[in-house]
Structure 1
């Protein structure tokens, strides 16, 4: 096993195609095919499931990919450490939509100015998706709702969010879950931590929501609430950043449910130099 094989393996895993991967790493397809087969023979497992002209990762391939990315990232970090160069390479971040929209735009702008040699990318989605991305190596780090208890992850709390129930404008302040028993909810997919928090609040109050409508954005949730179609839960900071926030009724959750911490998480023992630079800037901006 060598670094070139790992680079080729990563390229095939990302593209799902020998020909596309060959273009990416500037090699001929036959060379990639040979080197991938040598890698599989070396470690004794099939890393890909071959279907017609496409390749998709096998279960063993998914596990190996996270290690392969970490190995190559450590090699890059080692090179930079001994050369004394400023941080460079890639930093792939994940984030909750609300955090990306309200909390970190200024930090991202400062990071791009301070570290122009680092290629920064950002993907948004529910906490569950972001945690999976960090665990399987697609993301270097992610902003998620904490605390984080997974043994393979570590992180730091960075923001405190006040959660509020958003209801139609003519709705009185909600003080108990039983007051909205059976109400339609607008929320992200089931792996959204905020949605689980809202459902837990209902259950703790011995109540149940009505139909849960899965949405793709807070703007969509807010539009449905304004129209009188149901209620939603969102961070106050996110709500106040959106046009139309004055057209709804706000109800803070009880004290024991009101605040949630946003964490920046990464794989345990996998804090790269690029990530350390980002964390340093994040702490300065706090």
Structure 2
């Protein structure tokens, strides 16, 4: 087993095909096929399930991928330390959409100016998806809604978000969930922590939302609420950043539902120089 084999294995695992992986690592497909077979023989197990022209990871392959990524990250870190250079390489960062839109643009700009040799790859999504990707190793870190509960993760609280319910203009006051029992709501998919928070707010008061319409963006939610089609929950900072925010009424939730804390999380024991560089720019909470 050598580092080149691990790089090839990672490429095939992430691309799902030999041809796409070969383009990524600038090798011919036959070379990748041979090296992957050699790696499987060395490990004594099949890392991929082969189906026509596609490959998907076997259970053993899933386990090995986490270790392979960690090995390559450690090698990159060791090279940086030995060379005594400024941090370089790749930082795959995940974020809630609202955090990416409102909280970190200035931090990202400063990071790119201060650490030009680090390639920052940012992706957005709900907390559940971001946590899964950090655990599997495809993200080095992610901004998610707290609290931090998973034993394989560690992190730091970064931002407090005031959550507000938005309703069509002129809507009667919303002081508790029973005031809007049965109302249609607009939210992200089921693995979104803000959606779970909204549903829990209803259930705690013995109420139920009506139809839950799944949306892909806060702008879509806002447009539907402006049109009078239902309610939505979002961070106040996000609402105030969007054109049209003045066209809805807003109602703050009562304690303990009012505030949610955004955390930056990473795999336990897996901090890298790239992540340290990024973390140094975050505000102290």
TM-score normalised to structure 2 length: 0.97
* Equivalent-residue separation in structure 1 for 2:211 and 2:275 (angstroms): 41
* Equivalent-residue separation in structure 1 for 2:74 and 2:135 (angstroms): 17
What residue is the counterpart of 2:74 in the other structure?
A: 74
What residue is the counterpart of 1:109 in the other structure?
A: 109
Determine helix, strand or coil for the equivalent of 1:158.
Answer: strand
State the shift of 1:172 in Å.
1.9
Determine helix, strand or coil for the equivalent of 2:281.
Answer: helix
What residue is the counterpart of 2:136 in the other structure?
A: 136
Q: Which one is further off, 50-59 or 172-181?
A: 50-59
What residue is the counterpart of 1:163 in the other structure?
A: 163
State the shift of 1:27 in Å.
2.4
What residue is the counterpart of 1:25 in the other structure?
A: 25
1:38-117 aligned at under 5 Å gives the runs 38-117=38-117
What residue is the counterpart of 2:174 in the other structure?
A: 174
Q: Are the counterparts in 2 of residues 63 and 136 from structure 1 also a CA contact under 8 Å?
A: no
Tell me, yes or no, if structure 1 residue 267 matches structure 2 residue 263: no
What residue is the counterpart of 2:200 in the other structure?
A: 200
What residue is the counterpart of 1:11 in the other structure?
A: 11
Q: Gapped runs of 5+ residues in structure 1?
A: none
How many residues end up aligned between the 2 structures? 285
State the shift of 1:34 in Å.
1.6
* Equivalent-residue separation in structure 1 for 2:175 and 2:63 (angstroms): 47
* Equivalent-residue separation in structure 2 for 1:132 and 1:256 (angstroms): 27
What residue is the counterpart of 2:242 in the other structure?
A: 242
State the shift of 1:244 in Å.
0.7
State the shift of 1:196 in Å.
0.2
* Equivalent-residue separation in structure 2 for 1:166 and 1:24 (angstroms): 45
* Equivalent-residue separation in structure 1 for 2:248 and 2:23 (angstroms): 52
State the shift of 1:40 in Å.
1.4
Determine helix, strand or coil for the equivalent of 1:255.
Answer: coil
Q: Gapped runs of 5+ residues in structure 2?
A: none
RMSD (Å), alpha carbons: 1.1
* Equivalent-residue separation in structure 2 for 1:105 and 1:129 (angstroms): 21
Question: Residues 193-232 of structure 1, C-alpha deviation per residue, up to 9 Å, x if partnerless?
Answer: 0000010010100000000000000000000001110000
Q: Are the counterparts in 2 of residues 166 and 250 from structure 1 also a CA contact under 8 Å?
A: yes
What residue is the counterpart of 2:146 in the other structure?
A: 146
TM-score normalised to structure 1 length: 0.97
Question: Residues 21-43 of structure 1, C-alpha deviation per residue, up to 9 Å, x if partnerless?
Answer: 22322323222112111211222
State the shift of 1:281 in Å.
1.4
* Equivalent-residue separation in structure 2 for 1:74 and 1:271 (angstroms): 10
Tell me, yes or no, if structure 1 residue 282 matches structure 2 residue 282: yes
* Equivalent-residue separation in structure 1 for 2:211 and 2:22 (angstroms): 48
Q: Which one is further off, 268-277 or 37-46?
A: 37-46
What residue is the counterpart of 1:233 in the other structure?
A: 233
* Equivalent-residue separation in structure 1 for 2:184 and 2:40 (angstroms): 51
Q: Are the counterparts in 2 of residues 94 and 139 from structure 1 also a CA contact under 8 Å?
A: yes
Q: Which one is further off, 23-32 or 109-118?
A: 23-32
